[in-house]
């Protein structure tokens, strides 16, 4: 898992030439599982290069970290509270993976991902796991904003009635 698209491009620009130099049998048994949340088009470009080199790749962004909770805490400026992070979730196997790639790549990656996650969903070809995660994040944030807005209204009414 890398921070974002520029780092992915840099790393794979170094890996792909090496893949072309490997024995075809070794390359065909190589699987890349990438959990970076990055630009879908860049993920598809990288996947195409990896597949053209003879290896397999799946995008498998992670869900199950603390983003929702952190956003809620930041909204109300609550004190820091220790919640189950993505790393902790991986250790206990409770993460979710939205996987993009070939069916074969998905089937090979699924047993590996199952050590870290309970829900492993094949979303379609390369980039589909990322697209699904981005849609999920947008939906989650939209719902959170609505909930926060309603909570603010409720708390405002309680404050008004407490002053009567």
- The full DSSP string for 71-113 is HHHHHTTPPP-----HHHHHHHT-EEEEEES-HHHHHHHHHHH
Out of 9, 70, 133, 145, pick the active-site residue.
133
Cα separation of 115 and 109, whole Å?
A: 11
Residue 21 annotated among the catalytic residues of the structure: no
Cα separation of 8 and 4, whole Å?
A: 6
Residues taking part in catalysis: 133
């Amino acid at each position: 898992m890398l921070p974002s698209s520029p780092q992915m491009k840099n790393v794979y620009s170094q890996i792909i030439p090496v893949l072309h130099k490997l024995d075809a049998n070794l390359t065909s048994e190589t699987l890349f599982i990438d959990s970076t949340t990055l630009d879908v088009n860049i993920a598809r470009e990288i996947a195409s290069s990896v597949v053209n080199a003879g290896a397999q790749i799946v995008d498998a962004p992670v869900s199950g970290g603390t983003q929702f909770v952190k956003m809620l805490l930041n909204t109300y400026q609550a004190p820091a509270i220790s919640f189950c992070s993505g790393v902790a979730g991986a250790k206990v196997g409770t993460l979710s993976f939205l996987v993009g790639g070939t069916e074969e790549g998905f089937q090979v990656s699924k047993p590996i991902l199952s050590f870290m996650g309970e829900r492993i969903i094949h979303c379609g070809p390369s980039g589909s796991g990322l697209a699904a995660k981005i849609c999920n994040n947008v939906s989650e944030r939209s719902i959170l904003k609505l909930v926060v807005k309603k909570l603010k209204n409720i708390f405002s009414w309680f404050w008004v009635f407490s002053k009567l």
